[in-house]
Structure 1
Amino acid sequence: MGSNPETDAAAEPVDVHRTAAERLRHDGQRYTAGRRAIVAALAEAPRPLTIAELLARVPTLAQSSTYRNLAVLEQARIVHRVIGTDEFARFELTEELAGHHHHLICSSCGDVADFTVDPALEVLLAEAAQRVGADTGFRTAHHRLDLVGTCAGCRDAR
Protein backbone atom coordinates (compact mmCIF):
# COMPACT_ATOMS: atom_id res chain seq x y z
CA MET A 1 0.00 0.00 0.00
CA GLY A 2 1.38 3.46 -0.93
CA SER A 3 1.84 6.58 1.15
CA ASN A 4 -1.34 8.21 2.39
CA PRO A 5 -1.09 11.92 3.31
CA GLU A 6 -4.04 11.49 5.68
CA THR A 7 -2.26 8.89 7.81
CA ASP A 8 1.45 9.35 7.04
CA ALA A 9 2.84 11.18 10.08
CA ALA A 10 6.32 11.37 8.52
CA ALA A 11 5.22 13.51 5.56
CA GLU A 12 7.62 16.28 4.55
CA PRO A 13 6.63 19.79 5.69
CA VAL A 14 5.33 21.99 2.88
CA ASP A 15 6.75 25.43 2.10
CA VAL A 16 3.37 27.17 2.04
CA HIS A 17 4.47 30.34 0.25
CA ARG A 18 6.51 28.54 -2.41
CA THR A 19 3.64 26.13 -3.08
CA ALA A 20 1.12 29.00 -3.22
CA ALA A 21 3.31 30.91 -5.70
CA GLU A 22 3.70 27.80 -7.89
CA ARG A 23 -0.03 27.05 -7.92
CA LEU A 24 -0.90 30.64 -8.75
CA ARG A 25 1.71 30.76 -11.53
CA HIS A 26 0.23 27.53 -12.93
CA ASP A 27 -3.16 29.29 -13.04
CA GLY A 28 -1.67 32.36 -14.73
CA GLN A 29 -1.92 34.45 -11.56
CA ARG A 30 0.64 36.36 -9.51
CA TYR A 31 1.43 35.93 -5.83
CA THR A 32 0.70 39.51 -4.85
CA ALA A 33 1.36 41.10 -1.46
CA GLY A 34 -2.34 40.86 -0.60
CA ARG A 35 -2.51 37.17 -1.45
CA ARG A 36 0.69 36.53 0.51
CA ALA A 37 -0.81 38.35 3.53
CA ILE A 38 -3.98 36.22 3.34
CA VAL A 39 -1.98 32.98 3.08
CA ALA A 40 0.27 34.04 5.98
CA ALA A 41 -2.73 34.91 8.18
CA LEU A 42 -4.45 31.61 7.42
CA ALA A 43 -1.21 29.69 8.04
CA GLU A 44 -0.91 31.28 11.49
CA ALA A 45 -4.57 30.87 12.44
CA PRO A 46 -5.49 28.00 14.77
CA ARG A 47 -8.83 27.51 12.97
CA PRO A 48 -10.69 28.55 9.81
CA LEU A 49 -11.36 32.30 9.66
CA THR A 50 -14.33 34.34 8.44
CA ILE A 51 -13.57 37.26 6.15
CA ALA A 52 -14.23 39.65 9.06
CA GLU A 53 -11.71 37.75 11.22
CA LEU A 54 -9.20 37.76 8.37
CA LEU A 55 -9.59 41.52 7.89
CA ALA A 56 -9.16 42.07 11.65
CA ARG A 57 -5.89 40.09 11.57
CA VAL A 58 -4.60 41.96 8.50
CA PRO A 59 -6.08 45.48 8.65
CA THR A 60 -4.15 46.58 5.56
CA LEU A 61 -6.34 44.36 3.37
CA ALA A 62 -9.27 45.96 1.55
CA GLN A 63 -12.52 44.02 1.95
CA SER A 64 -13.36 44.01 -1.78
CA SER A 65 -9.92 42.76 -2.86
CA THR A 66 -9.96 40.16 -0.08
CA TYR A 67 -13.11 38.60 -1.56
CA ARG A 68 -11.51 38.54 -5.02
CA ASN A 69 -8.19 37.20 -3.71
CA LEU A 70 -9.89 34.43 -1.73
CA ALA A 71 -11.73 33.37 -4.91
CA VAL A 72 -8.42 33.25 -6.82
CA LEU A 73 -6.70 31.36 -3.97
CA GLU A 74 -9.59 28.89 -3.80
CA GLN A 75 -9.47 28.32 -7.57
CA ALA A 76 -5.71 27.63 -7.32
CA ARG A 77 -6.27 25.01 -4.57
CA ILE A 78 -4.48 27.06 -1.91
CA VAL A 79 -7.51 27.96 0.19
CA HIS A 80 -10.51 25.83 1.13
CA ARG A 81 -13.93 27.17 2.13
CA VAL A 82 -15.43 25.64 5.28
CA ILE A 83 -19.19 25.85 5.58
CA GLY A 84 -20.50 26.08 9.12
CA THR A 85 -24.01 26.35 10.46
CA ASP A 86 -24.25 30.14 10.20
CA GLU A 87 -24.21 32.48 7.21
CA PHE A 88 -20.44 33.07 7.32
CA ALA A 89 -18.07 31.02 5.21
CA ARG A 90 -14.72 30.37 6.81
CA PHE A 91 -11.44 29.89 5.02
CA GLU A 92 -8.35 27.84 5.72
CA LEU A 93 -5.38 26.54 3.78
CA THR A 94 -6.04 23.34 1.88
CA GLU A 95 -5.15 20.06 3.50
CA GLU A 96 -2.01 19.68 1.38
CA LEU A 97 -0.72 22.93 2.89
CA ALA A 98 -2.12 22.80 6.42
CA GLY A 99 -2.07 19.08 7.14
CA HIS A 100 -4.89 16.62 7.59
CA HIS A 101 -7.42 17.57 10.26
CA HIS A 102 -11.14 17.61 10.99
CA HIS A 103 -13.64 20.21 12.23
CA LEU A 104 -15.89 20.81 15.22
CA ILE A 105 -18.84 22.97 14.09
CA CYS A 106 -21.08 24.66 16.65
CA SER A 107 -24.72 24.55 15.58
CA SER A 108 -25.53 27.42 17.94
CA CYS A 109 -22.92 30.13 17.16
CA GLY A 110 -21.45 28.70 13.94
CA ASP A 111 -17.87 28.62 15.25
CA VAL A 112 -15.54 26.13 13.56
CA ALA A 113 -12.52 24.61 15.32
CA ASP A 114 -9.87 22.23 14.01
CA PHE A 115 -9.02 18.93 15.64
CA THR A 116 -6.88 15.92 14.84
CA VAL A 117 -7.24 12.34 15.97
CA ASP A 118 -4.79 9.65 16.99
CA PRO A 119 -3.04 8.12 13.94
CA ALA A 120 -4.54 4.68 14.67
CA LEU A 121 -8.06 6.16 14.61
CA GLU A 122 -7.17 8.07 11.43
CA VAL A 123 -6.31 4.76 9.74
CA LEU A 124 -9.69 3.35 10.81
CA LEU A 125 -11.49 6.42 9.43
CA ALA A 126 -9.66 6.10 6.10
CA GLU A 127 -10.49 2.39 5.93
CA ALA A 128 -14.16 3.08 6.74
CA ALA A 129 -14.30 5.71 3.98
CA GLN A 130 -12.80 3.21 1.52
CA ARG A 131 -15.36 0.56 2.54
CA VAL A 132 -18.23 3.01 2.02
CA GLY A 133 -16.79 3.81 -1.39
CA ALA A 134 -16.48 0.14 -2.29
CA ASP A 135 -20.04 -0.57 -1.12
CA THR A 136 -21.54 2.32 -3.07
CA GLY A 137 -19.29 2.51 -6.12
CA PHE A 138 -18.06 5.93 -5.00
CA ARG A 139 -14.36 6.54 -5.58
CA THR A 140 -13.03 8.11 -2.38
CA ALA A 141 -10.13 10.55 -2.83
CA HIS A 142 -9.82 11.52 0.84
CA HIS A 143 -12.00 12.12 3.86
CA ARG A 144 -12.82 14.84 6.31
CA LEU A 145 -14.91 14.59 9.40
CA ASP A 146 -17.13 17.43 10.63
CA LEU A 147 -18.62 16.97 14.08
CA VAL A 148 -21.65 19.21 14.60
CA GLY A 149 -22.80 20.05 18.10
CA THR A 150 -22.57 22.79 20.72
CA CYS A 151 -19.27 24.44 21.69
CA ALA A 152 -18.29 24.95 25.32
CA GLY A 153 -18.95 28.72 25.10
CA CYS A 154 -22.53 28.22 23.97
CA ARG A 155 -23.13 25.44 26.52
CA ASP A 156 -21.80 27.67 29.34
CA ALA A 157 -23.98 30.59 28.16
CA ARG A 158 -27.09 28.46 28.69
Structure 2
Amino acid sequence: MNTFVRPEEFDPDRFLPPGILENVISECRRAPNGSSLVIDGWPGSGKTPTSKWLAQRLCWPVIHLDEYNLNQRPEFDPKQHSPGFDEEAMMDAVACRLKVGSVVVEGVCAGRICKPSVMLHLGRWPGTRLIKSLTAFIADYSPELHEGVQSTFWANFE
Protein backbone atom coordinates (compact mmCIF):
# COMPACT_ATOMS: atom_id res chain seq x y z
CA MET A 1 0.00 0.00 0.00
CA ASN A 2 1.35 3.42 -0.92
CA THR A 3 1.12 6.06 1.75
CA PHE A 4 0.73 9.63 0.55
CA VAL A 5 3.76 11.49 1.88
CA ARG A 6 3.36 15.21 2.48
CA PRO A 7 6.67 17.15 2.52
CA GLU A 8 6.12 18.31 6.09
CA GLU A 9 5.68 14.68 7.18
CA PHE A 10 8.93 13.50 5.60
CA ASP A 11 11.11 11.60 8.05
CA PRO A 12 14.01 9.49 6.72
CA ASP A 13 13.71 7.20 9.75
CA ARG A 14 10.27 6.05 8.55
CA PHE A 15 11.67 4.28 5.48
CA LEU A 16 11.77 0.52 5.29
CA PRO A 17 14.10 -1.23 5.28
CA PRO A 18 15.84 0.80 8.02
CA GLY A 19 18.93 2.69 6.85
CA ILE A 20 18.03 2.42 3.16
CA LEU A 21 18.56 6.13 2.44
CA GLU A 22 22.01 6.08 4.04
CA ASN A 23 22.86 3.14 1.77
CA VAL A 24 21.67 5.12 -1.27
CA ILE A 25 23.83 8.10 -0.24
CA SER A 26 26.85 5.87 0.25
CA GLU A 27 26.40 4.31 -3.19
CA CYS A 28 25.96 7.71 -4.86
CA ARG A 29 29.15 8.99 -3.26
CA ARG A 30 31.02 6.08 -4.85
CA ALA A 31 29.57 6.90 -8.28
CA PRO A 32 31.67 8.95 -10.72
CA ASN A 33 30.86 12.56 -11.58
CA GLY A 34 28.09 12.67 -14.18
CA SER A 35 26.05 9.95 -12.45
CA SER A 36 22.31 9.93 -11.88
CA LEU A 37 20.28 8.92 -8.87
CA VAL A 38 16.88 8.05 -10.32
CA ILE A 39 13.92 7.95 -7.93
CA ASP A 40 10.64 6.53 -9.20
CA GLY A 41 7.35 5.44 -7.69
CA TRP A 42 3.64 6.16 -7.86
CA PRO A 43 2.09 9.54 -7.06
CA GLY A 44 2.19 10.17 -3.33
CA SER A 45 4.95 7.63 -2.65
CA GLY A 46 7.35 10.31 -1.36
CA LYS A 47 9.55 10.90 -4.42
CA THR A 48 9.69 14.68 -4.15
CA PRO A 49 10.53 15.04 -0.43
CA THR A 50 12.91 12.08 -0.65
CA SER A 51 14.71 13.57 -3.66
CA LYS A 52 15.07 16.94 -1.92
CA TRP A 53 16.43 15.30 1.23
CA LEU A 54 18.91 13.13 -0.68
CA ALA A 55 20.00 15.95 -3.01
CA GLN A 56 20.73 18.20 -0.06
CA ARG A 57 23.00 15.58 1.50
CA LEU A 58 24.71 14.77 -1.81
CA CYS A 59 24.97 18.42 -2.94
CA TRP A 60 23.41 17.37 -6.26
CA PRO A 61 20.67 19.31 -8.07
CA VAL A 62 17.24 17.74 -8.56
CA ILE A 63 15.20 17.53 -11.73
CA HIS A 64 11.52 17.07 -10.87
CA LEU A 65 9.81 15.46 -13.84
CA ASP A 66 6.41 16.80 -12.73
CA GLU A 67 7.61 20.16 -14.04
CA TYR A 68 7.26 18.65 -17.53
CA ASN A 69 3.66 17.56 -17.00
CA LEU A 70 1.79 19.28 -19.81
CA ASN A 71 -1.45 19.17 -17.80
CA GLN A 72 0.00 21.55 -15.20
CA ARG A 73 1.08 24.26 -17.61
CA PRO A 74 -1.01 27.44 -17.76
CA GLU A 75 -1.41 27.13 -21.54
CA PHE A 76 -2.85 23.61 -21.23
CA ASP A 77 -6.41 23.44 -22.49
CA PRO A 78 -7.93 19.95 -22.26
CA LYS A 79 -10.21 20.80 -25.21
CA GLN A 80 -7.20 21.47 -27.46
CA HIS A 81 -4.37 19.35 -26.04
CA SER A 82 -4.06 15.72 -25.14
CA PRO A 83 -2.79 15.17 -21.59
CA GLY A 84 0.70 13.90 -21.07
CA PHE A 85 4.32 14.63 -20.44
CA ASP A 86 6.96 16.36 -22.52
CA GLU A 87 9.40 13.42 -22.65
CA GLU A 88 11.76 15.15 -25.08
CA ALA A 89 12.13 18.17 -22.79
CA MET A 90 12.67 15.85 -19.82
CA MET A 91 15.43 13.96 -21.60
CA ASP A 92 17.07 17.19 -22.78
CA ALA A 93 17.07 18.65 -19.25
CA VAL A 94 18.67 15.54 -17.79
CA ALA A 95 21.25 15.23 -20.59
CA CYS A 96 22.29 18.89 -20.20
CA ARG A 97 22.70 18.51 -16.45
CA LEU A 98 24.70 15.28 -16.74
CA LYS A 99 27.23 17.05 -18.99
CA VAL A 100 28.30 19.19 -16.01
CA GLY A 101 27.86 16.82 -13.07
CA SER A 102 25.69 14.39 -11.20
CA VAL A 103 21.96 14.81 -10.71
CA VAL A 104 18.94 13.41 -8.87
CA VAL A 105 16.01 12.73 -11.23
CA GLU A 106 12.63 12.05 -9.65
CA GLY A 107 9.26 11.24 -11.09
CA VAL A 108 6.86 8.51 -12.11
CA CYS A 109 8.78 6.28 -14.54
CA ALA A 110 11.93 8.37 -14.08
CA GLY A 111 13.98 5.42 -15.28
CA ARG A 112 12.32 5.80 -18.67
CA ILE A 113 13.84 9.28 -19.01
CA CYS A 114 17.34 8.66 -17.69
CA LYS A 115 19.61 5.62 -17.50
CA PRO A 116 20.17 5.32 -13.78
CA SER A 117 23.54 4.93 -12.11
CA VAL A 118 21.74 4.36 -8.82
CA MET A 119 18.01 3.58 -8.71
CA LEU A 120 15.59 4.02 -5.81
CA HIS A 121 12.05 2.68 -6.19
CA LEU A 122 9.53 3.97 -3.65
CA GLY A 123 6.43 1.94 -2.88
CA ARG A 124 5.13 -1.13 -4.59
CA TRP A 125 4.91 -1.42 -8.35
CA PRO A 126 2.38 -1.26 -9.82
CA GLY A 127 0.57 1.11 -7.52
CA THR A 128 -3.13 1.21 -6.98
CA ARG A 129 -3.81 4.77 -8.11
CA LEU A 130 -3.52 5.54 -11.77
CA ILE A 131 -4.71 8.70 -13.46
CA LYS A 132 -5.48 8.85 -17.15
CA SER A 133 -2.56 11.10 -18.06
CA LEU A 134 -0.14 8.53 -16.62
CA THR A 135 -1.55 5.55 -18.51
CA ALA A 136 0.06 6.35 -21.86
CA PHE A 137 3.28 7.58 -20.27
CA ILE A 138 3.71 4.45 -18.17
CA ALA A 139 2.77 2.04 -20.96
CA ASP A 140 4.97 -1.02 -20.47
CA TYR A 141 7.41 0.59 -18.02
CA SER A 142 8.59 -1.64 -15.22
CA PRO A 143 11.26 -0.86 -12.61
CA GLU A 144 12.63 -4.35 -13.09
CA LEU A 145 13.95 -3.19 -16.46
CA HIS A 146 16.71 -1.39 -14.58
CA GLU A 147 18.03 -4.25 -12.50
CA GLY A 148 21.74 -4.57 -13.01
CA VAL A 149 22.54 -0.86 -12.85
CA GLN A 150 25.29 0.10 -10.40
CA SER A 151 22.83 -0.27 -7.48
CA THR A 152 19.09 -0.70 -7.20
CA PHE A 153 17.20 -0.08 -3.95
CA TRP A 154 13.55 -0.74 -3.06
CA ALA A 155 11.97 1.12 -0.15
CA ASN A 156 8.59 1.87 1.41
CA PHE A 157 7.57 4.82 3.51
CA GLU A 158 6.11 3.49 6.75
TM-score, scaled relative to structure 2: 0.30
Tell me which protein shows more helix as a share of its residues.
1
TM-score, scaled relative to structure 1: 0.30
Structure of greater Rg:
1
